Amino acid sequence: MYNLAHRFLKHLNPETAHNLSIQALKLGLYPKINFSNSEILEQTIWGRRFQTPIGLSAGFDKNAEVIKPILNLGFSFTELGTVTPLAQTGNPKPRIHRFPKQNALVNSLGFNNKGMEIFENNIINSNFKENFQDKIVGINIGNNKETKDILNDLELLFDRLHRLGDYIVINLSSPNTPGLRDNLKSNSFEKIVNRLHQLRDQNHSRIPILFKISPDITEQEKKDIALISLANDIDGLILTNTSIDKTSLEKELNGGLSGRPLFYKSNKIIRDIYTLTSGKIKIIGVGGIFDANDILTKMKLGASLVQVYTSFTYNGPYHIKKMTLDLISLIQQQGFRNITEVIGQHS
């Protein structure tokens, strides 16, 4: 039944299909995935135990509406958002485009969300920790389009939301908010890192703070980000967001490219950042993951965790269970005792 429903959704406008999927999840219309997690996939990062390395990336559950359903589908962790202080409608429609031949999506959404008040209430009302003490929830925050100083929005969001998640992500890399990626340049990046760390100290918090990075950075920017990350002892980097390089597609569109064409580009950045930081900065690898081999590739290049999005939308609700079971088999076949042993092998 769920596979039939998924095939039907794939024939609809992508944003309509996404909205219907959110409603179905809210109504409990999804398969409850039950499988015994193997200790071979478990690891502890930032003092938190991840049952598997597989998470859902930000962008799917923008308003924290379906935390429990997502975790019921087999994800070890989910990242909510991107949330902005004020609600915003985002960019004009149509703003999501499928490219099935390339296993890709292009989106120009522009941080459309209902704002931090609704987001906060949804998390509180979900009581997800009561049922999912062994699952991890991240909160991805960003600035409103009209905001002049990004730090004003980030401070507001951090103060309001940092107590509600297991980690916080600062989104500095969406191509759909004008000027956002300029904050990855060394002076701006270090200023933002320092300010967020100050905020955490002022709140007597220990929540891990991660930064989501663009795949389109230059070699010098890569080195600067690695150096600043080490110098400021940041908790982690998410590598990478969507790309503005859409040469692999048949037509040019505004927005960011995700899915299979991003795989090798994000892999190179994972490997380079892991090498530049001597493996001292935790990496969440994102971009073009469609099977267990892809997960293992990203982890061998230096990622400790991975996130999926596009393959989940293409392959449906049983996708995460299949990847998890396949990953266990691969790890065992290759003679590893635990998933941590593969990290950085090929960097």
**Known catalytic residues?**
174
Residue labelled with tokens 């308003």: 63
**CA 55 from centre of chain:** 7
Residue 6 contacts residue 316 (beta carbons within 8 Å): yes
Please enumerate, as own/partner, the contacts of 63-67 that have beta carbons within 8 Å and a separation of 24 or more. 63/113, 63/114, 63/118, 63/119, 63/122, 64/119, 64/122, 64/123, 64/126, 65/22, 65/25, 65/26, 65/122, 66/22, 66/25, 66/26, 67/122, 67/123, 67/126, 67/128, 67/132, 67/137
Instruction: Provide the H-helix boundaries in 27-148.
Output: 67-72, 116-126, 128-131
Cα–Cα distance measured from residue 231 to residue 215, given in angstroms and rounded to the nearest whole number = 22
Three-state secondary-structure class, residue 55: strand
